[in-house]
Structure 1
Amino acid sequence: MKKTYWKIAFAYIGVIVGAGLSSGQDILQYFLSFGKKGLLGVALLGLLNALFGKIMVTFGCYYREDSYEGIFSRIAHPIITRALDYVLIAGNFVMGFVMVAGAGSNLDQQFGIAPWAGALLCSVLIVLVAFLDIDKITGVLGIFTPIMAGMILLITLYTFWGKTYDFTALDMEARTITPVMSNLWLSTINYYALCAMTGVSMAFILGGSLVQLGNAEKGGLYGGICIGVIVMVAALSLFANIDKVKDADMPMLAIVNHIHPALAVIYAVTVFALIFNTAFSLFYSIAVRFAGGDTLKLRKCLIGIVIVGYVCSFGGFKRLIGLLYPVLGYMGIVLLVVLLMAWIREREKIIFEKNSRRKMIRISLKKHDPEKEVSPEEKKLFHTLVDISPADSETLKSDIGKAARRILDGTDDTKTYAENNLPVDQDLLKRKFQK
């Protein structure tokens, strides 16, 4: 089952690492504007990604709800839930039109296309895709995330291979950049809160696709760690080239242009694809929220949202990040507090549910194995565990059975597999039923 949690980890990376990181503008304003000290903030950002990546994906698996509203209603007061709903809608809209502005800046910097024209192209594509097979389009666009990660690693290798830098001089140069806020640690938390706002809905969905909580925990944790590594190498590259990129709208693209113009074309196209994918996902999620399942209404809502978003994008990519991202970050801090408090409060229940589902899979393995027989006590325990689970009973039973069948198809020795991959704290289960 190791492939399962790595699949979730890579998907989570794609949710968080996208257009924002690929431009490099947010790293400049939030971190490197503090000089080399800003790299400590990047390290803290990696830790926050790992911690909250684990929390968000695990909550998705634990509750297995269809939407983020369903999970927030379980972990927060109804007033807080309503407030978070409004915050996420506003955050998605603002991030959406900032991405549209980024599309214009990207094409302008690389190809000399007027920013309004590049932003218009991105907006028109968003509307057109809403009338096509969305799953296939977004599936194709998903390949750009690993391409981007690979190119960032290539940029870092080129930057430091056989070269030395005067970090004191670079530190002084970096401090000439105007930071979005005066304190590095607040800046780091604010920026991660912004990332969490854009990623929480998909993180819940990723977790809800899993049955085993252990896989969800590892998927979110490992994905967060990988994000931390990617952001750090990008930040190191930007810091080493700070004198060349500090005034650029797309700093990473400016570095690639110094490597080779042809590579810069590939990078610019990749960035545009990531920006489009991010903007489409953000605007589409708002339209879905208000459409109520009506496809025609969804498309009309999306067109209206895109038009308003395009007009708002005229504020300029670099300027919009400096003005609006901090505000969104403060709004996102409320989300982080709610998630952390719920995690502390529900931790024991999550540990029990992890053991409970492992036990259910063990029983289901016996049920689907023609050479074994499930005892009446085990049948009773299985149904009891299903009934007390926070997840939907029928869906959980079905998915437990599917997981058991996949294990049976993949191994001949289910006993050894269960001992190695499905350990159960029997004492924990007993204590639960003795209360």
Structure 2
Amino acid sequence: MIRSEGAKMVIRLVATYIGAVIGAGFASGQEILQFFILYGYKGLLGVLVATILFAYLGAKVLELSVRLKCSNYQELLAYLLGPWAGSFMDKLSLFMLIGGLGVMLSGSGAVLQEYMGLPRWIGIGLALVFVIAVIFNGLRGLLAVNVILVPVKLLAVAIIACLALAFKGLPQNLPVLSGLGVGGHWLWASLLYVSFNMVVPLAVLSSMGRAVSKRVGIYAGLLGGLGLGVAVALVTLAGLAFYPEVAHYQVPMLYMASGASSLLKPVFAILIWLAIMTTAIANAHGFASRLAPEGGRRYRVIGVLACFAVLPLTNIGFADLVKLLYPLFGYAGLLLLAALLVVPLFKSRIY
């Protein structure tokens, strides 16, 4: 059994794991549409595969991080990929984290402009202030914010999906689709989805290696993965109920929310913004903790500088940034996915 203090840490880690994965793409429903809904009933099989992988990989990342006493993801990458490939992946991960931070800041501006009619710079500025405030409080700030924001975000996703299902009803005749989504096959799509979404969690969770116990890490990874699976399943079912109309919308969750109730639109806008914030915080923390694993003043300075350094990226626009950067993130994630699945099986001891 886990004592009360350990249980609190499990909750914090579960929230941090889920918060690192559920970003703007998930909350908008576009990711779920492309990776699962467009495969019809086979997409539900993909959800099952993704859930199992999220649970296993989350537990494995935390378990390895504790065993290796990691303070940042560089140490875990060196163990998984070796010196040369680990160094290459380290540099690529830094680029992905800083690029992801730019995408999230741009997304904040896009949300406030599209759903609230405010200038983009206000959304970007609010996100900047929020992320910097969390960075100034270090690891404790990251965990505290996620404990508050992630349950709200997860609950909002579940409520919108459930209301949409209540309005439309469970899909009676699940569409039989083939090759319409990402990857051309439901199994490959589910693998790509997991690999795409494990880059940021690996960067964040690996920094916890000296702060948690092995048992706490394994419990948190398993529960976080299962929580992600439930959220993906709910959105997938709701999307299938609204198929094929939902496939024609850039923001499928907004369409489903509006179909259930027009009052859900502002709730949805808040949901998207919260999703962006938790992912932006995870990116900033992963970047800063890699370059300043000891924390303290250097960690805060690097985190703040990273936030300002990515501001030029926000001029490109949210949709264009996603189109430009996310494919790279997905293919890089495949290397991590393969290493996490294979390497621990052949390394029975730490060298």
| TM-score, normalised via structure 2 length | 0.82
Q: 2:31 aligned to 19, 26, 32, which one?
A: 26
Q: Structure 2 CA distance, aligned partners of 1:63 and 1:299?
A: 25
Residues 59, 217 of structure 2: 8 Å contact kept: yes
State the Cα distance separating 1:123 from its structure 2 match.
5.0
Alignment of 1:50-89 (within 5 A): 50-89=55-94
Q: Structure 2 CA distance, aligned partners of 1:254 and 1:216?
A: 37
State the Cα distance separating 1:82 from its structure 2 match.
0.3
SS of residue in 1 equivalent to 2:184: coil
Q: Structure 2 CA distance, aligned partners of 1:291 and 1:308?
A: 17
Amino acid at match of 1:189: L
State the Cα distance separating 1:344 from its structure 2 match.
0.2
Alignment of 1:47-126 (within 5 A): 47-114=52-119, 116-117=120-121, 119-125=123-129
Amino acid at match of 1:241: F
Unaligned runs of 5+ in 2: none
- Aligned match of 1:331: 332
For the pair 1:195 / 2:197, whether they are aligned, the reply is yes
CA deviation vs aligned residue, 1:182-221 (integer Å, no higher than 9, x gap): 333333222211211110122223454333x344333322
Q: Structure 2 CA distance, aligned partners of 1:30 and 1:95?
A: 20
Residues 109, 250 of structure 1: 8 Å contact kept: no
Q: Structure 1 CA distance, aligned partners of 2:160 and 2:340?
A: 35
State the Cα distance separating 1:272 from its structure 2 match.
1.1
Residues 19, 275 of structure 2: 8 Å contact kept: no
Amino acid at match of 2:98: F
- The change in CA–CA distance for 1:41 and 1:319 in structure 2 (over 3 A counts) is farther
Q: Structure 1 CA distance, aligned partners of 2:211 and 2:293?
A: 23
Moved more, 178-187 or 55-64: 178-187
- Aligned match of 1:344: 345
| TM-score, normalised via structure 1 length | 0.67
- The change in CA–CA distance for 1:193 and 1:292 in structure 2 (over 3 A counts) is closer
Amino acid at match of 2:200: T
Structure whose alpha-carbon radius of gyration is higher: 1
Amino acid at match of 2:277: F
Aligned alpha-carbon RMSD (Å): 3.5
- The change in CA–CA distance for 1:180 and 1:93 in structure 2 (over 3 A counts) is farther
Provide the identity percentage.
Answer: 23
The structure with higher relative contact order (CA 8 Å, sep 6+) is 2
SS of residue in 1 equivalent to 2:219: helix
State the Cα distance separating 1:45 from its structure 2 match.
1.2
Q: Structure 1 CA distance, aligned partners of 2:172 and 2:28?
A: 23
- The change in CA–CA distance for 1:36 and 1:104 in structure 2 (over 3 A counts) is farther
State the Cα distance separating 1:319 from its structure 2 match.
4.5
- Aligned match of 1:149: 154
Amino acid at match of 1:80: A
Amino acid at match of 1:196: M
- The change in CA–CA distance for 1:131 and 1:57 in structure 2 (over 3 A counts) is closer
- The change in CA–CA distance for 1:183 and 1:334 in structure 2 (over 3 A counts) is same
Alignment of 1:131-150 (within 5 A): 132-133=136-137, 135-136=140-141, 139-140=144-145, 142-150=147-155
Q: Structure 2 CA distance, aligned partners of 1:154 and 1:240?
A: 15
Q: How many residues align?
A: 345
SS of residue in 2 equivalent to 1:210: coil
SS of residue in 1 equivalent to 2:121: helix
Amino acid at match of 1:200: L
State the Cα distance separating 1:99 from its structure 2 match.
1.8
Amino acid at match of 1:121: G
Q: Structure 2 CA distance, aligned partners of 1:54 and 1:136?
A: 23
Moved more, 150-159 or 54-63: 150-159
